[in-house]
Structures are given as C-alpha cells and as structure tokens.
C-alpha cells in the first residue's frame, strides 16, 4: 500500500436516494491502492448500493466518487477499470469456461500483450482451475463457477475488483475455503479489492480494513482487530461477534492501587459502575476508551463472552444457565443475570447457578454520557 499516492478509490460525501429512501447517506471513504476493504452490515444498510456507485451502475444524488484522485462523475461503468463479481455469478451456459473468461478479454487487449489463449490459461492457473478451459460451466461446482466468474472479472486487468456477496450461494465449508483463495488471489495480484458481505466473520477473516455499515453510513472503519477489540459503538460491539453490553452510573473514579489484583497496570484509573445495584470495576484509558470519565457519568461497556471466567471473584455476577449451544471447540452458554442475557464461552459448560467474573481491563467502553 502506498499511502502518499491518492487513494485508489474515494467516496466523498456520497449520498444516494431512491425516492423517500436514503440508501447511502453522506458516505466518505478512502480505499488505498492494494487494500482489501470490506463493507459489512445488516440487510438494507447500503452495501450493494455503495458498490454499484463505485462501479458506475448508479450515480450519486450528491457527492463524488474518485479513482486515483480523478473524478468518476459521468464515466460509464465500462470505462472505469473495475472488475465486478456479483452474487449470482451468471456464467454464460452456452460457452466453455475458457470462452467465458475470454469474453472478459474481448473489451480490451490482454494486459502485457500475448494471446487471449495464453491469458485465459494464466487466469485459470491463478484461480486454481488449470486445465478446465474446455469444460462447460454446468459441469463445475458452485465454488469453481464462482472462481471462473472471478477470472472473467480479472481478465482485462482492472485496477479495482468489486465483489458483491460472491459466496452467499455456497455452503459454509466451501465459503471458508473460497474466502482464503480470494484473499490469496488478491494478494498475488496486489489488486485493490472492495468486498461486500453481511457475514461479519468473513469480513474479519479476509480484510485489511472493514467498514461496519448501518443505515447508509459506516459506524466504524478500522482493521479487523480494532473492530473486534475496540468497537466504536454498541452496534459494532454486538454486530461483530458476541458481546455482553452493560450500562450503569459511575459512582467513583479511583486508581488501581487500592483495588489489588485487577489485571490493570498500577496507577491505571478504574471507574466503579453500578449496574442494577451491583458495583463493577471498569478500567479506563484502555485502547479506544474515553480519556475522561467522572462520577455521575453513564457508562456503557462491553465484555466479550470469552473474557468471562467461571468462579472468578473480580466483578462477580451470580447468574443462572438458561441454555447452551455446543459449537465443537467451545460451548456458547446463555445466562440470565437479573433478567438480562449474558453470554459465556466455556470448554466445560456449567449448569444451574454460576458465578462469572471479569478483569476490569477486559472491558471496552462503547458509550459515555455525562
């Protein structure tokens, strides 16, 4: 990634309305050259519309899309140097695999000269389908067909690859395999890629950066680790992975020195937050936490289920197990604590009444109201 060059793709205050509906609202994003950038969010949050605005299938109601610093306003899709793969990969059934890919070439000369045939062979190798040029699409598996669609989109050597839910028609295991392949192909080519999915796990797994979208705007744009560990809002905290969200009034702010083994560094400030009559210690000034918190503030913080420990004495909550889902390597345990649902991850799931606790530093603050 070259951070001094203009962004490969830029959306500057882009809004797209359809009558009364605002599909995308004042969206600004800068996507760097070579970046794998993912738009994730619930159905209807504007992911596909954003991709279509970049591809040029839609025009912004307001704002501007730019490629390499140059405005794309008025530039039709075929002149945008983007390759697009849609959910329904729609290969031409009456053409062979090789002809399908060559179709992608028919708009341009093959990059770097050479013959169409050599380029098709090269693309088939790239997507790990070497030797399949003469097959009919309907003799391929869904995953193979989707890789042909990708090869076809890549054939003209576009600057930017746009992928709209390319795996949603495939089964879970195949999706996992294919997402690794997509990432590998992207890395091999170093191609700027914008990926749309509603699957938050997929987004975390493949991306350099993720935009978590809600109602046409991003709630957070950050690398996957930051999205998971330091969610900017309650929406991000609960949309991406499981989370326990707790909210209460700050009754004191003090230093860790007087609370003993909290897991926090000595001298790190701690807020006592009273949640439904129970006082919990929350470390302040963790990554992304607000710098100033004072008594009387209302704090909303979250604790990941894998951070809750059974029989812990810090921040102990006595809860009742309501159900458990066996997931293989771990079990997701649903707890009832004072009428709230809490989630716990455990190898050996408890039953009945259980005390769970967490270190003050295992919290992350998502909201503060003074």
Residue 147 binds ligand ATP, judged by CB under 6 A:
no
Kindly state whether residue 303 participates in binding ligand ATP, applying the rule CB under 6 A. no
The string of DSSP codes covering 145-191 is HHHHHHHHHHTT--SEEEEESTTTTS-HHHHHHHHHHHHHHHHHHT-
Among 48, 145, 146, 361, contact with ligand ATP (rule: CB under 6 A): 48
44 binds ligand ATP (CB under 6 A): yes
CA distance 42 to 60: 22
Rounded to a whole number of angstroms, the minimum distance from the CB of residue 46 to ligand ATP is: 4
**Minimum gap (Å) between residue 151 Cβ and ligand ATP:** 24
Q: Out of 46, 56, 231, 360, point to the residue binding ligand ATP (CB under 6 A).
A: 46
Helix (H, G, I), strand (E, B) or coil at 311: coil
The two beta strands, 36-40 and 21-31, are unpaired
**Residue number, 41 or 286, with CB nearest to ligand ATP:** 41
Q: Got the DSSP string for 92-130?
A: -TTS-HHHHHHHHHTTSPPTTS--HHHHHHHHHHHTT-T
User: Is residue 43 a contact residue for ligand ATP (CB under 6 A)?
Assistant: yes
Please report whether residue 218 would count as binding ligand ATP according to CB under 6 A: no
The answer to whether the beta carbons of residues 162 and 54 sit under 8 Å apart is yes
Q: How far is the CB of 234 from ligand ATP (least distance, A)?
A: 20
Q: Does the footprint of ligand ATP cover residue 262 (CB under 6 A)?
A: no
Q: Is 47 in the site for ligand ATP (CB under 6 A)?
A: yes
Instruction: Closer to ligand ATP by CB, 41 or 350: give it.
Output: 41
Rounded-to-integer distance, Cα 131 and Cα 117, Å? 12
User: Smaller CB distance to ligand ATP: residue 217 or 247?
Assistant: 217
Selected binder of ligand ATP within 1, 5, 18, 59 (CB under 6 A): 18
Instruction: Let me know: does 369 contact 298? Beta carbons within 8 Å.
Output: yes
Angle at 327 between CA 324 and CA 329, to 5 degrees: 120
Report in angstroms how near the CB of residue 87 gets to ligand ATP at its nearest.
8
Residues 203 and 210: their CA atoms lie apart, in Å, by 7
Q: Is 4 in the site for ligand ATP (CB under 6 A)?
A: no
Based on the shown chain and the rule CB under 6 A, indicate whether residue 21 belongs to the binding site for ligand ATP.
yes
40, 45, 178, 346: residue in contact with ligand ATP (rule CB under 6 A):
45
Backbone angles phi, psi at 116, to 5 degrees: -55, -40
% helix / strand / coil in the chain, to the nearest 5?
25, 35, 40
Decide if residue 283 touches ligand ATP (CB under 6 A). Answer: no
CB closer to ligand ATP out of 39 and 319: 39
Using CB under 6 A as the criterion, which residues of the chain lie in contact with ligand ATP when the complex forms?
18, 21, 23, 41, 43-49, 198
């Amino acid at each position: 990634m070259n951070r001094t060059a203009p962004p490969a793709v830029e959306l500057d205050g882009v809004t797209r309305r359809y009558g009364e509906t605002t599909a995308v609202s004042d969206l600004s994003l800068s996507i760097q050259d070579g970046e794998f950038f993912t738009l994730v969010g619930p159905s209807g949050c504007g992911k596909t519309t954003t991709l279509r605005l970049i591809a040029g299938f839609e025009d912004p109601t307001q704002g501007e899309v730019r490629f390499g610093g140059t405005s794309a306003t008025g530039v039709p899709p075929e002149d945008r140097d983007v390759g697009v793969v849609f959910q329904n990969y729609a290969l031409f059934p009456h053409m062979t695999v090789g002809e399908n890919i060559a179709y992608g070439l028919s708009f341009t000369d093959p990059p770097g000269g050479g013959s169409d045939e050599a380029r098709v062979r090269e693309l088939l190798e790239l997507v790990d389908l070497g030797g399949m040029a003469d097959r009919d699409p309907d003799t391929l598996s869904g995953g193979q067909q989707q890789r042909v669609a990708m090869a076809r989109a890549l054939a003209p050597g576009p600057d930017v690859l746009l992928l709209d839910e390319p795996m949603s028609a495939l089964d879970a295991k195949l999706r996992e395999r294919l997402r690794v392949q997509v990432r590998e192909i992207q890395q091999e080519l170093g191609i700027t890629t914008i990926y749309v999915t509603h699957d938050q796990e997929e987004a975390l797994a493949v991306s350099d950066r993720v935009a978590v979208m809600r109602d046409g705007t991003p709630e957070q744009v950050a690398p996957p680790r930051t999205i998971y560990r330091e969610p900017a809002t309650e929406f991000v905290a609960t949309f991406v992975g499981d989370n326990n969200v707790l909210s209460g009034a700050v009754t004191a702010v003090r230093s860790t020195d007087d609370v003993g083994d909290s897991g926090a560094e000595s001298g790190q400030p701690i807020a006592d937050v009273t949640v439904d009559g129970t006082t919990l210690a929350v470390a302040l000034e963790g990554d992304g936490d607000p710098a100033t918190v004072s008594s009387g503030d209302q704090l909303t913080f979250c604790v990941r289920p894998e951070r809750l420990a059974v029989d812990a004495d810090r921040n102990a909550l006595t809860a009742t197990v309501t159900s458990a889902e066996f997931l293989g390597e771990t079990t997701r345990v649903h707890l009832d604590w004072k009428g709230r649902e809490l989630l716990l991850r455990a190898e050996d799931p408890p039953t009945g009444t259980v005390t769970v606790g967490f270190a003050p530093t295992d919290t992350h603050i998502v909201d503060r109201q003074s």
